[in-house]
Amino acid sequence: MKKQKVAVAIDFGTHGTGYAWALIDDDKRQVHPYMRWKDQPAPTAKNLTALLLDSEGDVLAWGYEARRRFNSRSAGPDVRYLKAFKMSLAPASTEGMEVGELTATSLSADEAKNLVTLYLKQIFRLAVEEVAASGFTEEEIRWCLTVPAIWGDYEKQLMREAAVAAGLPDDPKRLLLAYEPEVAAHHARVSGARTAQFTGKRPSLMSVGSRFLVADCGGGTVDITAYRAVSGNKLEEIGRECGGKFGSEYVNQAFLEKVLVPRFGSYDAIDRINDQQPAALLGIIEKWEEAKLHFSAEHDDEIIISIPVSIDRCLDEESRKSLAELQDGVTDEIVITAKEAQELFEEVVPGILSLVDKQLGEMRSQRRNAPGKELVVLVGGFGNSPYLRQRLQQHLEGRADLLVPPDPQAAVLFGAVHYACSPQIRARRARMTYGIASTTRFRPGVDPEEYRYEGPDYPLCRNRFSVYVRGGESIPVGNWVTRGQWPIWPDQDAMSLVVYAAREGYPQYVTDKGSQKIGSLRVDLSSVMHLPLSRRKVQVSLQFGETEIQVTAVLQESGEKVEAVLDFEPLS
């Protein structure tokens, strides 16, 4: 394998996706974001996560170009415009209130995976071309793809499969999956994040032992994770990851439903406008998006958005009447009062604060309620919002300091580049309790009778949960947890190893509530059938600590490593 000399990171987001790269051995570590997307309104490090497909499902355009062509109808009929499909890779919501689904996200995980592949292919092509212009080959690139921390193993596996199908290498050493808040934490440390109060005091993110929480607030999801800085400039994950669908896209959704619909009179009016002038309607929502990221609760300023003449022509009497009634006679602009704007933010802010509280509680209990303030680092595009920052700051008063890096929107992207250059994470906390379904000696009066069956020598109990790692346990990256497994029957020529995950820390049986099969592998024992049962031991190892779990099985007697395929299955 060629030595990797270039690190390319892809921040794949619900709303926008971008890539950046750097030379791995460059002392100055100059990061190069790509900012020249076709049809972008202004230079930006993120292209729209959007695709325009023809009737065959082939890509006609992507990103801003896809949106332009769709809105201008220049691509013709029978085309599909899709966006926000990242959310459909993980359709099950995690925690928090039910905010409702974003539009255009009712896709199956497989459909979403296909769209992710189509999109990543475009990014891959661009990135390889740009890096090649410096004289590097594709084989010299180490890739890093970001994923939300709240994603389960199944979603991460889907993402990896989509990336490989798009052309990225099928090698865990060359294609890293990194958690978004994790890389953002690293960027915050190196970029000089300061306290939101700007006291001038340097935060202690760099100090060994410093503990901080990262709130990654993006377009779709909000991920909350906690870390501790350990020696060697590395991070150890602490606390338990949590998150939910409280991203800024939901504030946009609320804007559509609670501002535009009442002002234009009805959903039908919106549909009519969207049908006749989709680009102009989108322009209004974008203006809202821009204005909301600068809205502050400190002032009573209204947010004013011009209604384009093209939309004005679509308005009927009812729409004009609604506008005039709700806006003191103003019909050529959308005027949103400060109070209304606050109410839109409050659709998601309480959920975000609740998640932060939960994580802070976990961090506090770990340090046994010793006095002291925690640090909260705010990153992600939504982290740019002064309103969100102010609410968070007020909420954390006396309990934690709030830190914001100079460019929270780019924190994940730039952080991912640095991570790809030198992966920083030393240890992680296990997301759940993991183990293997096994059989043990039956315990009368303890094990359920229905699990009992007669073994060759004594009664046995099936469905026992053989724990490899407990939820919350800190596991060094790359560490293998190994247990021995033996076949039951002398004529058993294969062993089926079924891997389970449980939300509880001490599951007894794989049938316990909250326990679910997440994958399986089959071990062929034919090469050791000539040996007595006691010598047909299989060393089953689960490697934790990386973004995914790897499983291997080794026949101890022969040292033969059995090829095994572990398929993750979605958690219900």
Residue ranges that bind other proteins, judged by CB under 8 A: 5, 23, 25-26, 28, 30-36, 42-45, 130, 133-136, 287, 290-291, 293-294, 301-304, 306-309, 312, 330, 332, 384, 406-407, 409-410, 414
Shortest reach from residue 373's CB to other proteins, in Å: 28
C-alpha distances (whole Å) from 558 to each of 90, 215, 529, 538, 555 are: 41, 49, 12, 10, 6
The number of C-alpha atoms within 13 Å of 563 and in the hemisphere containing its C-beta is: 0
Q: Which is nearer to other proteins, 135 or 559 (CB)?
A: 135
Nearer to other proteins, 23 or 460 (CB): 23
Least distance (Å) between residue 8 CB and other proteins: 13
Taking the complex as a whole, the smallest distance from the CB of residue 248 to other proteins amounts, in Å, to: 14
Identify which of 365, 404, 121, 407 has the alpha carbon closest to the alpha carbon of residue 238: 365
User: Nearer Cβ to other proteins, position 286 or 357?
Assistant: 286
Torsion of CA 25, 31, 36, 41, to 10 degrees: 160
Distance CA 425, CA 167 (A): 26
Q: Which is nearer to other proteins, 271 or 301 (CB)?
A: 301
Q: In whole angstroms, how close is the CB of 531 to other proteins at the nearest point?
A: 40
Query: Residue 567 Cβ, how far from other proteins at the closest point, in Å?
Result: 39
3-state secondary structure of 569: coil
The amino acid occupying position 187 is H
Closest CA to 178 of 543, 494, 424: 424
Residue 292 is which amino acid?
K
**493-514 burial code (b ≥16 CB/10 A, e <16):** eebebebbbbeeeebbbbbbee
Burial 43-69 (b: 16+ CB within 10 A, else e): ebbbbbbbbbbeeeeeebbbbbbbbbb
Question: For residue 145, what are its two tokens?
Answer: 């793809």
CB 408 to other proteins: min, Å: 9
CB of 405 to other proteins, least distance (A): 11
Q: How far is the CB of 441 from other proteins (least distance, A)?
A: 57
Report the distance separating Cα 452 and Cα 462, nearest Å. Answer: 7
Q: What residues have CB less than 8 Å from 548, skipping those under 6 apart? A: 153, 156, 157, 160, 172, 177
β-pairing, 560-562 vs 550-555, is antiparallel
Nearest distance from residue 200's CB to other proteins, in Å? Answer: 17
Residue closer to other proteins by CB (options 302, 473) is: 302
List 392's β-bridge partners, or say none: none
Tell the smallest beta-carbon distance from residue 294 to other proteins (Å).
4
Rounded to whole angstroms, the Cα distance separating 284 from 49 reads 19
- The closest of 113, 112, 109, 141 to 125, measured between CA atoms, is 141
Q: Residue 378 or residue 461: which is nearer to other proteins going by CB?
A: 378
Q: Min. distance of Cβ 180 from other proteins in angstroms?
A: 17
Closest CB to other proteins among residues 187, 240: 187
Nearer to other proteins, 45 or 400 (CB): 45
Q: Which is nearer to other proteins, 41 or 478 (CB)?
A: 41
Nearest CB to other proteins, comparing residues 73 and 294: 294
Which residue stretches of 245-398 are H helix? 248-255, 261-264, 267-276, 278-292, 309-312, 317-326, 338-345, 349-366, 386-396
d(CA 261, CA 335): 13
